[in-house]
Structure 1
Amino acid sequence: MSTLLTPTEELSNPGLKYLAATRLGACSSAESLDLLLQASANPSEDLYERITRRKAIDALGRRKQPKALPVLLEALKAKDEPVVVNAADAIARIGTPLDREGQDCLIQALEGPDNQKRAVIQAFSRLSMADRNHAIERCRKDANPLVAGAAHAHQIRVEGDLNGLAPLIQQLQDDNPGRRRAAVIDLGDAGRLEALEPLSRCPVSMPLRAKSAFRMASAGDGSIEPKAVDLLEKLLQDDPRKLDLSRLPSTPASEEAIRDGLQHRDEARQYAAAKSLMCLPKDSQLLVIDTLRSSLGSDYGVHYLLASCAGLLQLKERSDLVRDALAETAPQYAKSRVAAAWSCVRLGLKDQQTTLQELSQSSRWEPLRWSCERALTHLA
């Protein structure tokens, strides 16, 4: 709080100011909330103050206090696009539907850049608020598929019109990875179980798909729809051989090509490289895994795919890799723990049942908690 109150020019490292705002998002005191409200209302044009304002608004979204709504609604009028985007997202995360005046204020923010339009539409969808003046309906025809996709999600979730599903499902196979990711998010907002199967095959990161999948599979009481269990398991086991990679060229079966592919920014290319590794002779699989583990083991994406492949290929010789992955406690390795949980099943690692039991009860991340629950069931 002291850092947040200090003028930027008095800090030896002005970046600490916006880090302070981020930290306060994890606090619960009334005093820290008041400071975040002050920072969120600061109209300063100073770069560090602008970033601090954005981070403070994001922190208010995580605090989920309706008291913040007046400040956030006022922030929607800012000229700084990231401030408006963060404000719309924070309003959605607080989860309190807006009154007519608040909705009017939010819909006015549609008059802005595409990222801003998308955030506003998402807020309307996530708060289940109707499109009274048809402004969102008109966005379904927007030339930018990220804007149109958000509008389709609103059409499905709020209006109950399933015609928007087809374009979103089609977009799951877009050549542009950003558009694929956007479609995954939009289908999560739409919340329809009918799209879970194509979502499970989409080559974007497992955590992003899982976040949407659990929203789609959730029953009214918070439990998982029974008919979604098998598809959720398929998605979380994340076998590259079962993903839609037909639009990509195959990764050459060489260590160098596999290494490069696993580090690509496009998850589809990462999965294609993992698939190539899985098609090698067993001795080569073991050799490549060992080499990658020693040279790229700290790369979160590579770490995850190796933990996954060890189980999918039933490489009992690399059970230690799976045990190590399950024991990783750093947040950035959470998806590796999901892969390790399923690998425990494929490798029959019953000695990990205690760890799986602990994670099934203590993990705050639903995909990991649920994976461990299901792994325990299968191991039994």
Structure 2
Amino acid sequence: MDKRFFNIFNLTEDEAIALLKTPPEQLEDKTDRYIAASHLINFPTERAIDALIEAVRDRDRDLYNRITRRKAIESLGRLKATAAIPVIRACLADEDCYTVENAVWAIGEIGTDDEAILEEIAQLLDKPEQSYRVIIQTLAKFNYRNALDRIQKFVDSDNEPIASAAIAAVARFSGDYSQIDKVVGFLQHESVNARRACIQDLIDAQYYDAIPEIAKCPVSVIFRLRGIRLLADAGTSAGKISFQKIEPHLDRAIRDRPDELNLVHEYDQLPSLAFLVNELYQTDFGRCYLASKTLLETYPDEAPEALMATYAEQAHNDYGAHYHVIKLLGWLKYAPAFDLLVEALQNPRPQFQKSRAAAAIALANLGDERAIPLLKASLNINIWDLKYACLLALKQFGDDSGKEIAARDPDWLVRAKAMAELLDNST
């Protein structure tokens, strides 16, 4: 589990436990117990787990206690605390549907072979106003086939993420993939949440044929790369798909050009430069990609100065906009951005990880050969998509030396890419 973003409150274990045990009326800030429950994910100890279990047992109906209970359940799930299963199981009957949702998810994370618990989860599918998507996903994760008929009734749900999860689960349980194209179709849904959700469902259904469409889906590259990566890992291990089939789509996703995506939004009239730059801050990356495409096509001369200005004002600290600005400056071949791109390539902050691969591609597009040794050095950093991007960038520079390094990489995808490039050179 990736814990890079959890430790942001700078609390010790003792301080977090003390906060969690403090009566709400004695707190300066009513959210302190919630923060403590969140922070205890950093401490996989019996003391931390006991404190979280105690918090879950507190059934006071106060709003802040309810959200603390939910977070405590989530933290127990992330800690995979098997000792917490009984208290979390009791939450399956809670009247608060969000607490039930977290309990189902946490059981899925911790794991259980108790079919009585799985049946309790399945029975929630007959209960109104529950988080059916999480319930279906968890039952599928445990391969609880006794729930198949109950899941089947959700395949035509008006809620697309629920329908998507149900279709994927039915395919997984029965081997019937006749409706899986509906899930693939959700990759073009106007809702970014539906687009993101169906990628997970295609992973769960192990539908390897979806890789080309996932690569073109207008969501953050993080979701696409995760989908391609997990399907590639499972598919190659099972002998269902080869790297040669995956490679062009993975290359496309890493390069991430907006004109190679199937965009779902459009403008009814040409927007201003200022509007398009502001769109790079949208949480729906589909809108960011449309803005990027329009900037490249319509404002290639004016855009670089505007991008440098927004970077200085805000994008340097907004990891979504940061990513798009970095990519755009490379495509626009804006030479004065060289130092900024190098800084992005070497940025150690975890929130900006995807910008490092973006910077590798941008530096190649810029064409300044001072980047070559920096790209080679980045092949030693333990981030697989960065290393893959550096291989693409070095190839664009016409430099082959990085392939020898990457051919011995511990990551099989990086190694396969390097070997494929070496093989191309030898033929």
TM-score (norm 1): 0.89
Residue identity (%): 29
More divergent stretch after superposition (305-314 vs 217-226): 217-226
Counterpart code for 1:257:
F
Q: Does 1:243 align with 2:265?
A: no
Q: Could you tell me which of 146, 166, 170 is aligned with 1:151?
A: 166
Contact kept? 2:186, 2:194, Cα under 8 Å:
yes
Counterpart Cα distance in 2 of 1:210 and 1:34: 37
Instruction: Kindly state the Cα deviation for residue 97 of structure 1 after the two structures are TM-superposed.
Output: 4.4
**Secondary structure of 1:128 counterpart:** coil
Matched, 1:339 2:353: no
Q: Distance in 2 between matches of 1:107 and 1:270?
A: 39
Question: Does 1:350 pair with 2:372?
Answer: yes
Q: In the alignment, is residue 25 of structure 1 matched against residue 47 of structure 2?
A: no
CA distance in 1 between counterparts of 2:50 and 2:341 reads: 45
SS in 2 for 1:171: helix
Deviations 1:325-379 (A, max 9, x none): 12323332222223223334444522323652343x2xxxxxxx22122234342
* 3-state SS, counterpart of residue 154 of structure 1: helix
**Which blocks of at least 5 consecutive residues in structure 1 are unaligned?**
362-368
What residue number does 2:6 align with? Answer: none
Contact 2:91 2:99 in 1 (8 A): yes
**Please, what is the CA RMSD of the aligned residues?**
2.5
* 2:206 maps to 1:206: no
Residue deviations 1:212-259 (CA, integer Å, cap 9, x gap): 222222136599951323322322322111111265227736321212
Select 1:44's aligned residue among 47, 60, 65. Answer: 60
Q: Which runs of 5+ in 2 are unaligned?
A: 1-16, 395-401, 403-427
Correspondence for 2:409:
none
CA 1:350–1:209: 2 relative to 1, 3 Å: same
Asked if 1 retains the 8 angstrom alpha-carbon contact of 2:208 and 2:231, the reply is yes
State the distance in 2 between where 1:155 and 1:133 align.
7
> Residue 193 of structure 1 is aligned with which of 200, 208, 211?
208
Is 1:324 matched with 2:343?
Answer: yes
In structure 2, the residue corresponding to 1:162 is in which secondary structure? Answer: coil
Is contact 1:251-1:261 (8 Å) kept? no
Deviation at 1:150, TM superposition (A): 0.9
The answer as to 2:176 corresponding to 1:161 is yes
Contact kept, 8 Å, 1:310 with 1:319, in 2: the verdict is no
- Correspondent of 2:275 among 257, 261, 284: 257
Tell me which of 175, 181, 186 is aligned to 2:196.
181
Matched-pair contact (CA < 8 Å) for 2:255–2:361: yes
- The CA distance in 2 between the partners of 1:180 and 1:113, in whole Å, is 25
> Residues 273-322 of structure 1, C-alpha deviation per residue, up to 9 Å, x if partnerless?
01111224643232232222223322222111011223344444422222
Tell me the number of residue pairs that the alignment of Structure 1 and Structure 2 aligns.
Answer: 371
How many Å apart are 1:3 and its aligned residue?
0.8
Q: Contact 2:215–2:252 at 8 Å: present in 1 too?
A: yes
Q: TM-score if structure 2 supplies the norm length?
A: 0.80
